[in-house]
């Protein structure tokens, strides 16, 4: 599939953050050609794997259908989604129809969240050596997300960082998921933060807690 630079494209990390899949699962779908990656024209350089909005819809459906349909049937379903990305319903087989409109609403809502995060977070070489921070602050976004992942209490974080609110905590986690650090992760102390407490937590269910409903299969 060839697309021009005029169409908005997404990295596998962004696709994982928006769809709720793990990055490994996204790359697995691409490597096994269950979804066909977009090949942007890049002035003669080797094309990289990028995903379109219809691919994000497929990734969101994959979150729910991976255990319900065999690979070949999911592959045909995703081809149908790519051919008719604006359809309300798509047919998975003779009896199973998938609510693509709901998946589209969830993906678009998540993309709006990511765009909001992009507006609020920036990197300036003059501020903490270019560490990504919330605009108008010196609060390191990777550090906040790392503390949340480590089980830090949200109320403790909000009391320690008065410039933040619950919404910004959620956006920090989304932004970091879409922009994971390369290389070996830094310690919290290296990011200029220190947790006040920690605890073990078990992650369950759909990570897209803010999404309304689910991409239902009928």
Q: Are residues 140 and 177 in the same domain?
A: yes
The confidence score (pLDDT) of residue 90 equals 87
Q: What is the predicted pLDDT for the residue at 199?
A: 55
Structural domain contains residue 160: yes
In a domain, residue 198? The reply is: no
Task: Give this prediction's pTM.
Answer: 0.75
Residue 117 included in any domain:
no
Residues 6, 97, single domain; the answer is: yes
Classify residue 205: in a domain, yes or no: no
Whether 22 and 104 map to the same domain: the answer is yes
Which pLDDT score is estimated for 98? 87
Cα 146-149-155 angle, rounded to 5 deg: 90
Number of domains making up the chain: 2
The domain that contains 54 carries what CATH number?
1.10.1660
Q: Does 37 share its domain with 138? A: no
pLDDT for 82-112, tens place per residue? 888 899 998 776 777 888 999 999 999 999 9
204 within domain boundaries: no
* Residue whose tokens read 């919404």: 167
- What's residue 150's pLDDT? 95
Asked if 133 and 173 sit in the same domain, the reply is yes
Do residues 28 and 52 share a domain? yes
Q: In a structure prediction context, what are the per-residue pLDDT tens digits for the chain, which is 218 residues long? A: 444 444 688 999 999 999 999 999 999 999 988 888 766 555 555 457 789 999 999 999 998 888 778 888 888 889 889 888 899 998 776 777 888 999 999 999 999 999 999 999 999 999 999 999 999 999 999 999 999 999 999 999 999 999 999 999 999 999 999 999 876 545 545 544 555 555 554 544 554 554 444 444 44
Domain contains 59: yes
Verify that 146 and 106 share a domain, yes or no.
Answer: no
Given 84, 112, 140, the domain boundary residue is 112
Domain that holds residue 145: 123-191
Mean of the per-residue pLDDT values of the chain: 82
Domain with residue 183: its CATH number is: 1.10.10.10
pLDDT computed for residue 197 by the predictor: 55
Q: Is the residue at 96 inside a domain?
A: yes
Residue 37 lies in a domain: yes
| Shared-domain flag, residues 11 and 106 | yes
Q: Do 102 and 34 share a structural domain? A: yes
- Same-domain pairing of 22 and 95: yes
Q: What is the pLDDT of residue 123?
A: 95
> In angstroms, how far is the first alpha carbon of the chain from the final one?
30
């Amino acid at each position: 599939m060839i697309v021009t630079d005029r169409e908005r494209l997404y990295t596998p990390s962004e696709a994982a953050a928006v769809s709720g899949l793990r990055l490994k699962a996204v790359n697995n779908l691409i490597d096994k050609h269950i979804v066909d990656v977009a090949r942007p024209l890049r002035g003669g350089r080797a094309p990289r794997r990028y995903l379109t909005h219809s691919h994000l819809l497929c990734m969101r459906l994959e979150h729910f259908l991976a255990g319900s349909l065999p690979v070949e049937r999911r592959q045909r379903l995703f081809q149908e989604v790519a051919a008719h990305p604006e359809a309300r319903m798509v047919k998975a087989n003779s009896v199973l129809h998938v609510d693509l409109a709901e998946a589209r609403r969830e993906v678009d809502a998540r993309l709006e969240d990511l765009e909001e995060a992009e507006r609020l977070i920036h990197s300036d070489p003059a501020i903490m050596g270019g560490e990504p921070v919330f605009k108008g602050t010196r609060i390191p976004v990777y550090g906040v997300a790392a503390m949340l992942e480590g089980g830090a209490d949200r109320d403790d974080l909000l009391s320690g960082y008065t410039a933040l609110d619950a919404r910004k905590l959620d956006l920090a986690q989304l932004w970091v998921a879409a922009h994971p650090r390369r290389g070996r992760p830094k310690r919290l102390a290296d990011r200029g933060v220190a947790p006040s407490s920690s605890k073990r937590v078990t992650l369950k269910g759909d990570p897209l807690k803010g999404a309304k409903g689910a991409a239902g299969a009928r």
